[in-house]
Homo-oligomer: A and B are copies of this chain.
Amino acid sequence: MSLRHALLGLLVDTEQNGYDLTRRFEQTLSGHAWSAGHSQIYPELKRMTADGLIEVVDEGSRGSKVYGVTPAGRDELRRWMFSPPGEAPARNEFVLRLFLLSSLDLPDLRVLAERMARTSDEQATELAGTIKEIEAATPAGQPHGYARFAAEFGRRWFELQRDWARWVLGELDDRPEAD
């Protein structure tokens, strides 16, 4: 049950309500890591409260519940982080498309690989800009946090996509069929 641990991780970082968690999910985790909508998050928060992993630490003006992690929740998150990985199978539609590229004929393959390389390069450039902003907003010598680590990962991921697509194009150009 990764949703539970994702919520624990976000709440350890910052105490917040279900609405904020929904947006945080969308903004930071949804791209590469995990995804969940509010209709899944609210019931899970209730269950986690019942299980003693989190608790309501404050109530906002319009009846919102601000959650925080209990000691038991911290223990559970740590236990999960150290547990052997690979339990939940990975699902990534983009990677699936990559793996199925060879089901296309050569002209189609070229067009798609070129498109993938282009969009990945754009995304990498965009994230590089975001990273510069983070760096600028962080006083020199200060340690980076969560956001910087995640952004660095994302940048490298998009570069991988771009470079792999270019490598495929290079392989294709070496083929006898190439004109």
Is B32's CB under 8 angstroms from A93's CB? no
A151 to chain B, nearest CB (A): 10
For this chain, the copies found in one complex come to 2
A128 to chain B, nearest CB (A): 15
Chain B residues within an 8 Å CB radius of A156: 160, 163-164
Is B85's CB under 8 angstroms from A103's CB? no
Would you list which residues of chain A between 109 and 156 have a CB under 8 Å from chain B?
A: 112, 141, 143-146, 149-150, 152-153, 156
Task: Mark interface residues in A64-103 (1 if CB within 8 Å of B CB, else 0).
Answer: 0000000000000110011001111111111111111111
Is A85's CB under 8 angstroms from B101's CB? no
Contact residues of A with B, CB < 8 Å?
2, 5-6, 8-9, 12-13, 28-35, 77-78, 81-82, 85-104, 108, 112, 141, 143-146, 149-150, 152-153, 156-157, 160, 163-164, 167-168, 171, 174-177
Report the nearest B residue to A85, measured CB to CB.
Answer: B94
Report the nearest B residue to A69, measured CB to CB.
Answer: B103
Chain B residues within an 8 Å CB radius of A168: 149
Is B86's CB under 8 angstroms from A145's CB? no
8 A-B pairs in the complex with CB atoms less than 8 angstroms apart? A2-B93, A6-B100, A33-B90, A33-B91, A78-B108, A98-B149, A99-B149, A143-B174
Is B153's CB under 8 angstroms from A98's CB? yes
Is A88's CB under 8 angstroms from B85's CB? no
